[in-house]
Structure 1
Amino acid sequence: MAEVIVVVGVVGGAGASTLAALLARRRALTAGRRRGEPAGRGRGGPGGARLGGTRDDGVVLVDLDPGSGGIEVLLGIEERPGARWAALREVRGTLTEDDLAGVLPRWEGVEVLSGDRRRGAPWGDPASAGREGGSTAVAGDGLVAVWSALCAGSGTVVVDLPGHRLPAAAPLLAPGLAAADRAQVVLLTGQDVLGVAAGLALRPGLEALGGASRAGAVDDGARPVRASDPALPGTLVLRRRPGARVAPLEAAEVLGVRLAGLLPTDRSLPRATDRGLGPVVPGRGRLAAAVARLERRLASA
């Protein structure tokens, strides 16, 4: 079963999509080292869709941000072949992870399931998604089928999910989260009072996400896990703010999650993104070190 890491952008502009991409890339590098592969390649080469085979300990980055224009644009892979959410909107029934092998485009050894610049967000109004001339956002059934297949497989699934989508996300993501080997949430917010307040406002959504994923699951074969059980394990990452007066440990205590650390700003990121390289950062820079620490912490949780 897969490990699922849901990166939730509590406030806009904190860099949740970038963090999700860097975290997925770091996990792919870690898996590649275990297999003895060159850095940055992963199975299937540096870019494009795979030619076939199966998914084993690979990494998939899933874009669930309907307002981003597609995480593929951030990564610079919008011209690469492979399926986007819009192409999967008619999927029905049960899929396996092998059904998706060779289907998705790749970036830095990571398979990417993204929204499409021209054809809308990865999810939307299911009522209009199936009508001729209606929304091209993926309908609920298609999202659940693909999502459940990824979570029931192996490897790691990293999700970019905006905080305002949490209430709607719970029933759609619950089947996949229940099937996953384990699931964790990374909350990214600003190191300021507004960032902490926004995190508190998301608490009901996090509890709904965790409770929905646990409903009907079995804990150690002894009893059903109730929907009223605690939210998914949460880890807090604060976007560093110059002159911030909010103490990181106090913010974590208020939000009821463990603190992973601060996310620094890397001024090279905008240039790399504008050149179509995606959020590639120097391996020994502060941002790369922060992402590496977060990845290790999540792996050992």
Structure 2
Amino acid sequence: MGGTTAVVAVRGGAPDSAGRDAVRRLGELGGVRVSDDWRGAAIVLDDVGSGELVVVAGPEVGARLQVPRDEERLLDLLLGAVPARATRVGVVGAHGGSGATMLAVALASVPVRAGIPVSLVDLDPAGGVVELLTGLERDPGTRWADLRRQEGTLLPERLATSLPAFEHVRLLGGDLRGGADVDEPVVARAVRAVAQAAEVVVLDLPRTVLFRAQDSRPSLIDDLDHLVLTASAGLRGGAAAAAAARALARSSGGPEISLVVRRRSGEDVLASDVAEACGLPLRGVVRHVRTLDAGVEHGVVPGARRGPLRAAAEEVADALGLLP
């Protein structure tokens, strides 16, 4: 977890030229540092005069931008070069009822208690479950439906401060108007933006990403630092976790993958057995207790109180290096 560096440099042109002025102004707007030293810069622009900039290094090499006409495109270019500030952790269930969403909520709350800025991204296409679990359904703030209607660039800090929050965790999610599909263009843009404004981003992922992991096309999983797979102890959970692990193993590269097991009393299969079956490191065990479900029914945010879920979330956060 770290901050941004000087990523954009402008060569040539007068100090007060229209091109340089636009880069400085848009860089300040987007929190992008601009330098005259082009060595090591992710983007190098040549100021050729009359408000025209030419990309000579970085994305879109050879592109010619005319300001002010192309300022929106220039801002997108600048923001795209900013390295993600956040450690990105995806949480996905190997099957329904494995507790992935509750773990994602509890996990997002752990670094916040240590003073680390965190955003939680809910990628359930139906939308609304996470904001119900966290008591935000009546709070104002930006949701996926709002982002679809928003034109122009998503500024990281502006987006982050527009989101509703629970226990200081910013939530980007859905509501009664619906959620978001991981393949929508707005999802990649929004995740990039929140990852530039926070130090930890937790993504509550739909199970469909497990099947798309084998696809040759770029996937949201590719940009994660860690992926936590959840499964219940038992034959069903073990089989589902093993199948998910095989699907993920067939993808090239990607994040570090680990396992959290939800275990009910009386189950014969141990969490370690599930981990061994799918060949993944076991990061935590959530012992099921009835008071956890009862607490959620009474508006207690998952992981807010001490108990098995919070303990497991703390173990995961520590193992993944999310704490100072």
User: 1:277, 1:62 → 2: CA distance?
Assistant: 19
TM-superposed CA distance for 1:93, in Å, is 6.1
Q: In 1, are the aligned partners of 2:262 and 2:286 still within 8 Å (CA)?
A: yes
Equivalence for 1:294: 316
**Structure 1 vs Structure 2 CA RMSD:** 2.7
Please identify the structure whose Cα radius of gyration is greater.
2
CA distance in 2, matches of 1:254, 1:92: 47
Looking at structure 2, the residues matched to 197 and 177 of structure 1 have their Cα atoms a distance apart, in angstroms, of 24
| CA distance in structure 2 between the aligned counterparts of 1:61 and 1:109, rounded to whole angstroms | 11
Alignment of 1:157 onto 2:216: no
Quick one: which amino acid aligns to residue 293 of structure 1?
E
Residue deviations 1:218-258 (CA, integer Å, cap 9, x gap): xxxxxxxxxx33x4211111111222222333322321210
> 171, 195, 200: which one pairs with 1:112?
171
Q: Aligned residue for 2:147?
A: 88
Within the candidate set 123, 129, 133, 2:181 is matched to 123
Equivalence for 1:259: 282
Identity %: 35
1:39 corresponds in structure 2 to: none
Structure 2 match to 1:72: 131
In structure 2, the residue matched to 1:272 is 295
8 Å contact 2:265–2:288 — kept in the other structure?
Answer: no
Counterpart among 221, 236, 240 of residue 259 in structure 2: 236
Corresponding residue of 2:227: 185
Inter-partner Cα distance in structure 2 for 1:286 and 1:251: 18
Quote the residue 2:109 is aligned against. Answer: 25
Residue type matched to 1:206 in 2? L
Matched, 1:246 2:262: no
Residues 160 and 3 of structure 1: CA distance in aligned 2, closer, same or farther (over 3 Å): same
Q: Does 1:62 align with 2:146?
A: no
- What do residues 82-130 of structure 1 show as CA deviations (whole Å, max 9, x unaligned)? 011111114566534223131100001100011112x122228xxxxxx
CA shift, 1:16, in A, is: 1.1
Say which SS state the counterpart of residue 226 (structure 2) adopts. strand
Whole-Å Cα distance in 2 between the matches of residues 108 and 259 of structure 1?
28
Distance 1:114 1:70 in 2: 9
Aligned length: 237
Aligned equivalent of 1:202, options 244, 260, 265: 244
Q: Structure 2-normalised TM-score?
A: 0.65
1: CA distance, partners of 2:285 / 2:100: 13
Amino acid at match of 2:96: G
**Residues 4 and 177 in structure 1, CA contact (< 8 A), matched pair in contact too:** no
Mark the runs of 5 or more structure 1 residues left unpaired by the alignment: 33-56, 125-138, 212-227
Give the distance between the partners of 2:196 and 2:249, measured in 1 at CA: 22
TM-superposed CA distance for 1:157, in Å, is 0.5
- Preserved contact between residue 91 and residue 146 of structure 1 (Cα < 8 Å): no
- Unaligned runs of 5+ residues in structure 2 are 1-84
Tell me by how many angstroms 1:263 deviates.
0.6
Taking structure 1 as reference, are residues 294 and 10 closer, same or farther at Cα in structure 2, changes over 3 Å only?
same
